Amino acid sequence: MELSINTLNSKEEFLLNHHGVDVFLKRDDQIHPEISGNKWRKLKYHLEKFYLGDYRQILSFGGAFSNHLAALAALGKLAEIPTYAMVRGEEAGDSPTLEYCSAQGMEWEAISRKDYSLKENPEFLEALQELRPGLYILPEGGKGVPALKGCAEIIDELEGTYDCIALAAGTGTTAAGLLAHPKAPKIRVYAALKGGSFLKPAIAQYLQEYQSEYGLAPIPRDLLIRKLDLVTDYHFGGFAKINQELVQFMNETYRKYQLKLDPVYTSKLLFGLLKDIEAGHFKAGSRVLVLHSGGLQGIAGMNRRLAKKSEELIAYD
Ligand X SMILES: Cc1ncc(COP(=O)(O)O)c(C=O)c1O
- Collect all residues with Cβ–Cβ distance below 8 Å to 97 and sequence separation of at least 6: 64, 65, 66, 67, 69, 70, 297, 298, 300, 301
Binding status of residue 169 toward ligand X by CB under 6 A: yes
Query: Among all residues, whose Cβ is closest to ligand X?
Result: 295
Judged by CB under 6 A, the chain residues 123 through 142 that form the site for ligand X are 141
Please report the DSSP string for 137-198 in residue order: EPPGGG-SHHHHHHHHHHHHH--S--SEEEEEESSSHHHHHHHHSTT--EEEEEESSSSGGG
Binding status of residue 38 toward ligand X by CB under 6 A: yes
Q: Which one of residues 144, 150, 170, 185 is an interface residue with ligand X (CB under 6 A)?
A: 170
**Contact in structure between 15 and 48 (CB atoms under 8 Å):** no
Judged by CB under 6 A, the chain residues 186 through 215 that form the site for ligand X are none
Which residue type sits at 94?
D
Q: Which one of residues 7, 95, 97, 293 is an interface residue with ligand X (CB under 6 A)?
A: 293
Burial environment of residue 305 by CB neighbours within 10 A (0 to 12, 13 to 18, 19 or more):
middle
Q: Which one of residues 63, 139, 272, 294 is an interface residue with ligand X (CB under 6 A)?
A: 294
Binding span for ligand X by CB under 6 A among 102-110, 131-139, 166-174, 180-188? 166-174
Binding status of residue 271 toward ligand X by CB under 6 A: no
Can you give the length of the chain in residues? 317
Please report the DSSP string for 226-261 in residue order: HHEEEE-S--TTSTT---HHHHHHHHHHHHHH----
Catalytic residue among 66, 95, 267, 293: 66
Binding span for ligand X by CB under 6 A among 45-53, 90-98, 153-161, 163-171? 163-171
Binding status of residue 265 toward ligand X by CB under 6 A: yes
Q: How many residues bind ligand X (CB under 6 A)?
A: 17
Binding status of residue 240 toward ligand X by CB under 6 A: no
State the maximum Cα–Cα separation within the chain, in Å, rounded to a whole number: 59
Binding status of residue 295 toward ligand X by CB under 6 A: yes
Burial environment of residue 284 by CB neighbours within 10 A (0 to 12, 13 to 18, 19 or more):
exposed
Annotation marks residue 102 as catalytic: no
**Distance in Å, CB of 26 to ligand X, minimum:** 12
Chain residues that interact with ligand X, rule: CB under 6 A: 37-38, 67-68, 141, 168-174, 262, 265, 293-295
Active-site residues: which are they?
A: 66
